[in-house]
Every structure is written in structure tokens, then in C-alpha cells.
């Protein structure tokens, strides 16, 4: 099963007030259909990781295809509970006591990052919600994640219990699951390798579990992802251990499902042409600087491949707020709109109002072709985060 992606942004571009993120509903649905196919073929359950994709105005659609959401703490758990209304699985590197009551009440699974936390909260969680399923995150200490910033299994990682720290005597009957998260934008081959290490290290515990959560980082909806291999790995794993398997992708849910539309506000020259936009890498596309990577701009090519080359810069005062260098068929004009591809995951979940820069609106291009602006941010949103 392959995804055919046809963007329809151009049809409504005139109506877009910039800056604006626009999720294309039909593209999101293509991703969700593929994820559902994997669920059906493999028997795994699939959750959306709200950390990467939390556009809750699309949850009526998401709910039809996925089993629930994975949350990184109280607020995401609440969002899952209030808006997605399916399973809520909550993991945090460290739960605070004041949050644990509410988290336990609204979560179906709670996953602890250490035996300390497990011991401290296990009974409280069970008292509040006798049906809650308790798990612990392990660190398989193996990953092929591309950069250290996104490698949960790197040196001295605080995320998950390593084999040498795993306390056999504390792994009691109340622990129903193990969770690992070791991948970042990776293939089914990477999962196969991690799974092998995970099984070698934790084999005595896996058969005692009801479920194993394979975490996120599966780049399932990318064109070259080997979906059939993933299905095969899950099916064989489930057969070997007779456990439920969960996947919790974030990026793969929102992958290539929409854009960020911005406008050229000015063009300056300093040994090269530089266009300044009404968007910013620092505040609106943080992974461009953090990963770092160069987002695609529709119709543009690498520098000097086309006749007119520009550096695209953000409207913050940060010197390094540069999106990248691009070339175009025609000179850019002030007021012209530019379309940044694949801007629906890990963008607005991370946005800031640094420099008082306006937050882009959130919009959905509906399947019927209409544009629905679901959120516009105001000066008060900026002011209310400060005092
Ligand atoms: C980040 C994260 C995910 C989602 O990762 P993606 O790369 O967006 O698929 C899932 N589970 C955990 C524990 C995470 O930290």
C-alpha cells in the first residue's frame, strides 16, 4: 500500500493570510489509512504521539483510524482524554506528585521511566484507577538515530532503564508492559536491529508482559518505508511472545500532510540577495535549526540551479534565523507567497513568541476544497504568556 500525495494548496493560496500552517485533510487521511492498514495486517495498536502531532481540530478524523494517543505528561494526557477520547498512554521522564492523581485517573497505560518512580506512584495510580496498566521504559542502549539531540539511547541518556540498572526483584506482577523508544525518522530495518537487542537484553521479562510498546520514530508514511517488513516484524514478535504490540508514531502521522505559507516582506542585499519573510526558522520551524535541515520550498531548487538565488531569512533578530538558500525561476517579489513543505509535525507544537513574532494561524484545507481557519493568534496570546 503506497500513498499518492497530491497537494491542493495552490487552489486556495489567494485566500491564505500569512503566516499560516495549513493541514490538508485528504493528505492526513492518506497517512491514517496506511497506519490503519498496518494495524489490521499486523494486529498492533497504533497511537498518535501528541508531542509531534497535536492538531486536535483533526481528531474527529484521527479517531476513526488510530487507537488513541501517547502523552508526555498531564497536559497532553488531558488533550487526549478531552479531544481524542480513546486510549491514553502517558509516559514522562519524571512525574510530579501533584500531577499523578489526575494522570492516573485519565490514562489507560502509565509508563514510568525508573524503578524509583514506579515504586513511588504504582499504588497511588492503582488506587485511583484500578484498570490502569503499568509499564516501565527500558533503554536498549542501541540506536541508529541520526543526531545526538534525538538519540534516546545515547551516552548517559536519562530516558529508560538500562539492563544493568534493571531490578529483577522489583519487576513484579503489577508491571504489565515494557516500553522502548529508540528510533528517530527510521526504517523497518532499524526497528529490526533495535528489536533484536531489546529481545536479547530483556528476554526474561517479555513473556511476563501483556504488552510491549515499540515507541515512535517509525517513518512509516515516508515513500521508501518498508511497510510489509514492519507488519512481518510485528506479527512474528506477537507470535513469539503472545503480547499486544503498540506503536506510537508522531512524525509519521503528520508527515507531508501540509505546509506553512509565508510572505516575502522585504529583499535586502549583502553580497547576495536575501529575502526576509513573515515567518521564522527560530520560532515557526525550530527543527530547521535544531536538526538542522533544509525544508523544501515549492517551486524552488538548490542554490544556483535556477537563475535567481536567495537566502530566506526569518523576521526575528536572531542572526542565525536563516531557513536556507534557494533558487527560483523568476526574481522574488515583495508580497509574494512562499510555500514551505511538510510543516505539520513538530512545528506548531514547539512554536514560541520569541521577539514578539506573531504565531502563524492554523488552518485545514478540508476534503471538500474549502479552507477552514481553526485558530488565529492575537497579541493577547503573546501578552498572556508573560507578565
Ligand atoms: C518522541 C516520542 C515519540 C514519537 O516519535 P516520532 O519520531 O514523532 O515518531 C513516541 N514515543 C516517545 C516516548 C517519544 O519520546
- On whether both 242 and 268 belong to a single domain, the answer is no
Nearest Cα residue to 215 out of 246, 177, 253: 246
- Specify if 357 maps to a domain: yes
CB 198 within 8 A of CB 140: yes
- On whether both 238 and 304 belong to a single domain, the answer is no
Q: Is the per-residue pLDDT at 109 higher than 90?
A: yes
Instruction: Give the CA dihedral 300, 303, 304, 308, nearest 10 degrees.
Output: 50
- On whether both 361 and 303 belong to a single domain, the answer is yes
| Average confidence (pLDDT) over 23-52 | 98
254 lines ligand 1 (CB under 6 A): no
State the pLDDT at residue 229: 98
Closest Cα to atom 5, ligand 1: which residue? 216
> Pick from 236, 254, 272: which residue ends a domain?
254
Which cell numbers hold the place of 111?
A: 509508563
178 phi and psi angles, rounded to 5 deg: -115, 145
Range of lowest pLDDT (54-63, 81-90, 138-147, 364-373):
138-147
| Average confidence (pLDDT) over 90-110 | 98
Residue 265: CATH number of its domain? 2.40.37.10
Task: State in Å: Cα 254 to ligand 1 middle.
Answer: 13
- DSSP line for 242-258: --EEEE--SHHHHTTSE
pLDDT in tens, 125-156: 999 999 999 999 999 999 887 788 999 999 99
Residue 175: CATH number of its domain? 3.20.20.10
Task: State in Å: Cα 46 to ligand 1 middle.
Answer: 12
25 lines ligand 1 (CB under 6 A): no
346 lines ligand 1 (CB under 6 A): no
- Specify if 101 maps to a domain: yes
Range of the domain at 271: 258-343+351-383
Ligand 1 test: best mutation among 46, 178, 181, most atoms within 8 Å of CB? Answer: 181
Domain count along the chain = 2
314 lines ligand 1 (CB under 6 A): no
Atom of ligand 1 nearest to the CA of 183: 7
DSSP one-letter code for 50: T
Task: State in Å: Cα 152 to ligand 1 middle.
Answer: 10
- Specify if 100 maps to a domain: yes
- DSSP line for 256-291: TSEEEEEEEEEEEESSSEEEEESS-HHHH-HHHHHT
Beta partners for 267?
A: 275
Dist CA 118 CA 194 (whole Å): 24
- On whether both 218 and 170 belong to a single domain, the answer is yes
Nearest Cα residue to 115 out of 66, 152, 164: 164
Nearest Cα residue to 71 out of 126, 29, 122, 109: 109
- On whether both 198 and 154 belong to a single domain, the answer is yes
DSSP one-letter code for 87: E
- On whether both 59 and 108 belong to a single domain, the answer is yes
- On whether both 262 and 250 belong to a single domain, the answer is no
Dist CA 128 CA 149 (whole Å): 36
Task: State in Å: Cα 52 to ligand 1 middle.
Answer: 7
Q: Number of helices and strands (H, E) in the chain?
A: 11, 16
State the pLDDT at residue 209: 98
State the pLDDT at residue 140: 97
Nearest Cα residue to 107 out of 78, 150, 149, 64: 78
Atom of ligand 1 nearest to the CA of 152: 15
State the pLDDT at residue 316: 98
**Structure confidence at residue 1 as a pLDDT band (50, 70, 90):** confident
181 lines ligand 1 (CB under 6 A): yes
User: How far, in whole angstroms, is CA 13 from its chain's centroid?
Assistant: 26
- On whether both 246 and 286 belong to a single domain, the answer is no
State the pLDDT at residue 227: 98
Amino acid at each position: 500500500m503506497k500513498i499518492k500525495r497530491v497537494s491542493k494548496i495552490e487552489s486556495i493560496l489567494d485566500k491564505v493570510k500569512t503566516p499560516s500552517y495549513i493541514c490538508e485533510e485528504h493528505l492526513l487521511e492518506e497517512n491514517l489509512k496506511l497506519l490503519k492498514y498496518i494495524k489490521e495486517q499486523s494486529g498492533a495498536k497504533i497511537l498518535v504521539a501528541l508531542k509531534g502531532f497535536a492538531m486536535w481540530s483533526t481528531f474527529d478524523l484521527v479517531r476513526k483510524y488510530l487507537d488513541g494517543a501517547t502523552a508526555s505528561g498531564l497536559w497532553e494526557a488531558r488533550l487526549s482524554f478531552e479531544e481524542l477520547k480513546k486510549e491514553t498512554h502517558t509516559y514522562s521522564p519524571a512525574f510530579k506528585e501533584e500531577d499523578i492523581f489526575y494522570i492516573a485517573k485519565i490514562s489507560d497505560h502509565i509508563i514510568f521511566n525508573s524503578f524509583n518512580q514506579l515504586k513511588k506512584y504504582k499504588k497511588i495510580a492503582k488506587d485511583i484507577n484500578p484498570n490502569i496498566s503499568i509499564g516501565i521504559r527500558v533503554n536498549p542502549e542501541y540506536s541508529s538515530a541520526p543526531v545526538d539531540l534525538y538519540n534516546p539511547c545515547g551516552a548517559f541518556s536519562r530516558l529508560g532503564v538500562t539492563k544493568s540498572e534493571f531490578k529483577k526483584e522489583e519487576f513484579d506482577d503489577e508491571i504489565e508492559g515494557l516500553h522502548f523508544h529508540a528510533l528517530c525518522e527510521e526504517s523497518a530495518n532499524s526497528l529490526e536491529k533495535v528489536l533484536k537487542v531489546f529481545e536479547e537484553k530483556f528476554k526474561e521479562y517479555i513473556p511476563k508482559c501483556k504488552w510491549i510498546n515499540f515507541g515512535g520514530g517509525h517513518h512509516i508514511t515516508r515513500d521508501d518505508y518498508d511497510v510489509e517488513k514492519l507488519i512481518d516484524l510485528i506479527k512474528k514478535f506477537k507470535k513469539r511472545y503472545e503480547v499486544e504490540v503498540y506503536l506510537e508514531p508522531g512524525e509519521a502521522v503528520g508527515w507531508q500532510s501540509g505546509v506553512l505559507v509565508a510572505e516575502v516582506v522585504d529583499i535586502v542585499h549583502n553580497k547576495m540577495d536575501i529575502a526576509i519573510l513573515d515567518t521564522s526558522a527560530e520560532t515557526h520551524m525550530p527543527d530547521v535549526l535544531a536538526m538542522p535541515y533544509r525544508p523544501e520550498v515549492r517551486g524552488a531548487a538548490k542554490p544556483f540551479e535556477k537563475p535567481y538565488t536567495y537566502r530566506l531569512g526569518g523576521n526575528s533578530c536572531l542572526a542565525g534565523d536563516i531557513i536556507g538558500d534557494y533558487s527560483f525561476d523568476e526574481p522574488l517579489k515583495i508580497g509574494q507567497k512562499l510555500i514551505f513543505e511538510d510543516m505539520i509535525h513538530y512545528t506548531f507544537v514547539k512554536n514560541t513568541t520569541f521577539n514578539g513574532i506573531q504565531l502563524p494561524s492554523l488552518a485545514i484545507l478540508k476534503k471538500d476544497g474549502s479552507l477552514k481557519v481553526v485558530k488565529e493568534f492575537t497579541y493577547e496570546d503573546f501578552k498572556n504568556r508573560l507578565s
